């Protein structure tokens, strides 16, 4: 039994994500929870890719770069806006069915330029849908293509990790929520002889 409805929904989402190997779309969770599920899925895909012998090419699970986020086009734009300085390019599920999309954010003379690129999945690789189509064998190569073609001005978004524990605590008596920061325990002073 879970402590709350949110915890129950999170466990349901986690189980479905691991069984179906994709984040379900019918979950009633906040964006942060969905992000946690997509992170768990990425880690599971990485674990599976490194913990077993290579699969046959037709059944291989493609490695997902760390700049891949399970977000919509609009969410990707918001993510890049909130993450200025940590990268300006994300990969996300493609709105066109097969493949992925690349969303970039750059500033020129004070004007924000948002761009979206289609990357189609074909056979055992990807085709970047630009003026002169470019073929890549992996998503890592897709990222590398954008970095190299932009002479380094496009950089994959680096995930940010918190260095301190923060959480919302629910008061059982009056159902008030409180934002808590868990400070590391202080070492007891050693007695001086």
In a domain, 176, yes or no: no
pTM for the whole structure = 0.53
How many angstroms separate the CA atoms of 176 and 171, rounded?
A: 5
Q: Is the pLDDT of residue 29 over 90?
A: no
Is the same domain home to 87 and 23? no
Domain that holds residue 136: 73-150
CATH number of the CATH domain containing 109: 3.30.505.10
In a domain, 160, yes or no: no
Is the same domain home to 90 and 141? yes
Is the same domain home to 131 and 94? yes
Q: Is the pLDDT of residue 74 over 70?
A: yes
Q: Is the pLDDT of residue 172 over 70?
A: no
Is the same domain home to 77 and 146? yes
- Phi, then psi, of 113 in degrees rounded to 5: -115, 115
Is the same domain home to 82 and 136? yes
Mean confidence (pLDDT) of the chain: 80
Tokens, residue 31: 């964006």
Is the same domain home to 16 and 83? no
| 80-to-12, 65, 106, 141, 160 alpha-carbon distances in Å | 29, 16, 9, 21, 12
How many angstroms separate the CA atoms of 152 and 132, rounded?
A: 20
The pLDDT value recorded for residue 179 is 59
The pLDDT value recorded for residue 4 is 77
The pLDDT value recorded for residue 164 is 57
Percent of the chain exceeding pLDDT 90 equals: 28
In a domain, 136, yes or no: yes
Task: List Cβ neighbours of 101 (8 Å cut-off, separation of 6 or more).
Answer: 73, 76, 91, 92, 93, 94, 95, 116, 117, 118, 119
In a domain, 62, yes or no: no
More confident call, 150 vs 43: 150
Is the same domain home to 91 and 144? yes
Smallest Cα–Cα separation from 122: which of 96, 89, 154? Answer: 96
What confidence tens digit (pLDDT) does each residue in 127-154 have?
A: 998 888 899 999 999 999 999 999 999 9
List residues bridging with 116 in a β-sheet.
103
The pLDDT value recorded for residue 122 is 87
Number of domains in the chain: 2
Q: What is the pLDDT confidence band of residue 58, given thresholds at 50, 70 and 90?
A: very low
Average pLDDT over residues 78-105: 88
What confidence tens digit (pLDDT) does each residue in 158-167 have?
A: 776 655 566 6
């Amino acid at each position: 039994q879970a402590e709350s409805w949110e915890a129950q929904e999170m466990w349901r989402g986690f189980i479905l994500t691991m069984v179906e190997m994709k984040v379900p779309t019918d979950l009633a969770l906040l964006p942060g929870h969905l992000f946690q599920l997509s992170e768990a899925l990425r880690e599971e895909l990485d674990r599976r890719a490194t913990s077993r012998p290579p699969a046959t090419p037709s059944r291989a699970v493609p490695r997902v770069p760390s700049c891949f986020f399970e977000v919509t086009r609009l969410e990707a734009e918001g993510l890049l806006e909130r993450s200025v300085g940590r990268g300006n390019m994300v990969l996300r599920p493609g709105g066109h069915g097969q493949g992925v999309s690349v969303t970039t954010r750059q500033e020129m003379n004070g004007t924000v330029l948002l761009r979206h690129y289609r990357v189609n999945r074909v056979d055992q690789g990807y085709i970047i849908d630009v003026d002169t189509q470019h073929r890549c064998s992996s998503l890592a190569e897709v990222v590398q293509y954008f970095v190299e073609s932009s002479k380094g001005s496009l950089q994959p978004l680096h995930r940010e990790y918190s260095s301190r524990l923060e959480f919302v605590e629910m008061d059982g008596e009056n159902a008030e929520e409180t934002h808590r920061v868990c400070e590391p325990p202080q070492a007891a002073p050693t007695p001086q002889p």
